Structure 1
Amino acid sequence: MSIPIVAIIGRPNVGKSTFFNRILGVREAIVYGTPGVTRDRKYAEAEWCGKTFLIIDTGGYVPTSEDVFEKAIREQAAIAIEEADAVVFVVDAVDGVMPLDKEIANHLRQSEKPVLLVANKIDSANRENLTAEFFSLGLGTPFGLSALGGRQIGDFLDLLTESFKKRGRTKKEKRLQVAIIGKPNVGKSSLVNALLGKSRLVVTDIPGTTRDPIDSILYHNGEEIVIVDTAGLRKRSKVQESIEFYSTLRALRAIDRCDVAVILLDAEDGLNKQDMQIIDETMHRHRPVLIAVNKWDLVEKETNTARNIERVIKQKLGLYDFLPVIFISALTKQRISKVIEKAQSIHQEQSRKLTTSKLNKVMLPEIERYPPKVSASKEVKIKYVTQIKTSPPMFAFFCNEPQLVQESYRRFLQNRLREHFGFEGVPIGVVFKKK
């Protein structure tokens, strides 16, 4: 059976993200003293007393607003409610029942989904009486707790998990995790939505719309793939507000936990300095990279246009010219399936394990033809090579004087490994050990 899904709903700034983070025990959603900071919905897996469930954090729900962000958030919250098996409606006990609370309650009653009403900010027994007012919403008995302080969280989770029908879940296999990253407004959320086939993320033409990384599940040829859309990585000089600072950290964390990073470029801008900084950040974290040039539909094309642009990109990539480049359009869905297919291929590449005999048969003749430079006093002799790690692949070259091997020779060996064995898009580690 599938895992139960719980959506957290509520008007802006009632503590939904704090509640979400309290359940998970980490700072997942951006929490900041500004209404509307959580602008999208995001998923995370939680567990309580051996029961696993998926929890969805949503942006502040404003049912009738025409504000561009609030209208988009309302649509996303509606999808979250539709997906959920149960809804947790969070209200602010200190504020009391607000007009927006009543509007949301009306929408939830129409959804016919089970609703648990949470009166947040009950940080002591003296405030329990504040919950009584919320009976008027017609959603049953309000449960008083404090998301910030953790008061009554355990009791609420007991109530929540008991509300699930008896379900089982099979142990899931390790799923491929693909992070969609890039500078602001290159079409990351549009690409995720195109891949999923529905409006999963807030998409507007305002740079910086997506501020938290959002996990989605995509099924491709029978395989479950986790897609992570991240806040656009901005130039460091522009990361001024706390929100943007946290978003950049979250994007870097998404890179850390992904299996393959898809770095999105704007076809009209090409590869610029900021893109190179993002690629550099990703490669330094030893993550495989696929470069996807988006908005290809906007480019005027002649014979070999793609080949010529790819050649320019490869030249600018320098040491990273082994990264594969594909051309797509999230808007027209042109070749977007290639993003997933290529990510799967790259993931398989980084998991490959080469036998020691095969490595030595190929690499020792290369070393004999192009030996390391000899120092004034000693000669470096490489005896053999073996693969010591996968994901990413790491190769150890055993020699008499490992400390004398120059960085340029390390790059030479990396290039020869790629030439003979592939590893497209995958960072290769080369170390020298004493023999």
Structure 2
Amino acid sequence: MKPLVAIVGRPNVGKSTFFNRMIGERLAIVEDMPGTTRDRLYGDTDWNGRDFTLIDTGGLELGTGIPVGQVGLHGQSGDLMDHVMSQAQLAMEEADVIVFMVDARSGITAADEDVAQQLRQAKKPVIVAANKADNKDRRMDAVEFYSLGLGEPIVISSIQGIGTGDLLDRIVEELPPLEEMEEEEEEDVIRISIVGRPNVGKSSLLNAITGSKRSIVSDVPGTTRDAIDTALEFEGHKIRLVDTAGIRRRGRIGVGVEKYSVLRSERALERSDVAILMLDATEGLAAQDTHIAGAIHENAKGVIVVVNKWDLAQEQRKAEREGVFAHPNDEIQSAEEYRDILAEGLKFIPYAPILFASAKTGYHVKSILEAAVKIAEMRYLRVPTARLNELVQEATRRHNPTVLKHKPLKIYYATQARVNPPTFVFFVNDTEAVHFSYERYLENRLREAFSFRGTAIRIQFRPRSNKDRDERREK
């Protein structure tokens, strides 16, 4: 997990210019007009060996007093200002470090004092950055920002790059220690993320599992704005459930809170062992579902496909048979037919078990947890090297390796490099001689032999060096 650093301040102090310089690309729109940035933008950067994510926020104008629905300065309405404010405040709540950017040219303004008053109540590090200090006089005048009561201001010029290294040094100093960021990963806890499109029943599933109203349940997509972690014990296992906001395709992500929800969902997926991919039985498999499944596969996570609202789908199917109404989509399928459709649409994760459930009634909810625990345990399976190489020899006898560019592939030996996810390294004569079909063949043999059901596995091919050969002989 990368720590978050939020850049806040009133409009037109240079937040987006600094953001673009730090991430190395013009991601944020920069205009000489206050209020250009309305929603948060995210970008990854690093400094002195520490990776972190920067958040560029819209300008804070706490003292505008624009009534909702009315138009104020720069043509911004009150509801838009409320939106910008809520975005910035969410960023500050989530951030590990806050950079409060001010304008060294104009000095302290009433808006700066309003923001500073709010930041003094924040229980997290706040760094004052006096931007636009392009000459000696402005750098000298920047001392007045001491009076904001937030510590020593760091003088910078985002356009010229002056002082940005000092600011980054200070940011890194204030980031949570690496031990704290990694402590969660060291716990003996199974991390399960609940992911899917908005309004498929993720919050309802969490409530059904925990037996409490831990998350807000609503028919309005995107009700869950933040990922909400819930700890519980199940059959002797410690589990941490993460209820996430609905993930949507990048091109479909709306402005505002939903964009923020996507970041939280993706971060939750990154730190989980197993993902519960929830689908809506009444809607069928959508393109967004396959997009999420692809993200799970790319992150090599364990996965369970849960077809939620199965009770409602069955009611609709019964009504169709009785001629009560015609469903706007194709006829609701039986479980077997539905499973075949999902197998075809999600063929890149053929290892994923498919469960039909109802979070509302509790149908198969326990089975979901049981499957998740088994998958998590399987991700820590270690295959003995001798047994692994017996399998490789048997596989190559049954099906000769591919020949690319008149050069046959030779597999010398294999070893398991790590667990969670299970990762296997094959030492070969030429990595370019490995055809993707043969890689898939080897993966299938591993799954058959060691029952890697429900989890992605990684296979890497490396050329055998002289050192590897000598070490192998010694063994």
Smaller-chain TM-score bracket? 0.5 to 0.7
> Which consecutive segments of 4 or more residues in structure 1 shift more than 4 A?
26-33, 35-40, 146-149, 151-154
> What is the match of residue 273 of structure 1?
287
Map 1:203-282 to 2 at 5 A.
Answer: 203-282=217-296
Q: With the length of structure 1 as denominator, give the TM-score of the two structures.
A: 0.62
CA distance in 2, matches of 1:330, 1:407: 39
Change (3 A) 1:379 1:148: closer
Structure 1: give runs of 5+ residues left out of the alignment. Answer: 1-25, 47-93, 95-119, 128-143, 155-171
2:425 to 360, 381, 396: 396
Query: Equivalent residue for 1:6?
Result: none
Could you say which residue in structure 2 is the equivalent of 1:306? 335
341 and 149 in structure 1: CA distance in 2 versus 1, 3 angstrom threshold: closer
Deviation at 1:370, TM superposition (A): 0.8
Alignment correspondent of 1:187: 201
- How far did residue 347 of structure 1 move? 0.4
Specify which structure has the bigger relative contact order, considering alpha-carbon pairs within 8 angstroms and separated by 6 or more residues: 1
Letter in 1 for 2:196: G
CA distance, structure 1, for counterparts of residue 222 and residue 89 of structure 2: 11
CA shift, 1:187, in A, is 0.2
Shift of 1:264: 0.3
2:303 corresponds to 1:289: yes
Task: Report the secondary structure of 1:264's partner residue.
Answer: strand
Match of residue 145, structure 1, among 106, 110, 121:
121
In structure 1, how many angstroms separate the alpha carbons of the residues matched to 2:337 and 2:405? 45
* Alignment correspondent of 1:338: 367
Aligned residue type for 1:362 = L
User: Residues 388 and 29 of structure 1: is their aligned pair in 2 closer, same or farther, counting only changes over 3 Å?
Assistant: same
TM-score by length of 2: 0.57
CA spacing shift, 1:432–1:29, aligned 2, 3 Å: closer
1:101-120 matched pairs, under 5 angstroms: none
Partner of 2:144: none
For the structure 1 residues 418 and 153, does the alpha-carbon distance in structure 2 shift closer, same or farther, using more than 3 Å as the test? farther
Q: Deviations over 1:85-111 (max 9, x none)?
A: xxxxxxxxx9xxxxxxxxxxxxxxxxx
Separation in 1 of the partners of 2:150 and 2:214?
29
Select which of 383, 407, 417 maps to 2:412.
383
What root-mean-square deviation, in Å, do the aligned CA atoms of Structure 1 and Structure 2 show? 3.7
User: SS where residue 179 of structure 1 aligns?
Assistant: strand
Q: Is the 8 A contact 2:339 2:354 kept in 1?
A: yes
| Cα displacement string for residues 43-88 of structure 1 (whole angstroms, at most 9, x for unaligned residues) | 99x9xxxxxxxxxxxxxxxxxxxxxxxxxxxxxxxxxxxxxxxxxx
Counting matched residue pairs gives 305
Contact 2:416 2:422 in 1 (8 A): yes
Q: Which amino acid aligns with 1:355?
A: P
SS in 1 for 2:404: coil
In 1, Cα distance between the equivalents of 2:446 and 2:274?
A: 20
Kindly, what percent of the aligned residue pairs are identical?
35
Write the distance in 2 (CA, Å) between the matches of 1:408 and 1:376. Answer: 16
Partners of 2:406 and 2:209 in 1: CA distance = 59
CA deviation vs aligned residue, 1:311-365 (integer Å, no higher than 9, x gap) = 2211221221111111110000011011111111000111100001111222211
For structure 2, the 5+ residue unaligned runs are 1-51, 59-81, 97-109, 127-147, 152-185, 319-332, 465-475
Pick from 365, 379, 384 the counterpart of residue 350 of structure 1: 379
User: Does the Cα contact within 8 Å between 1:260 and 1:346 map onto a contact in 2?
Assistant: yes
Cα distance 1:398–1:343, how it changes in 2: closer, same or farther (>3 A)? Answer: same
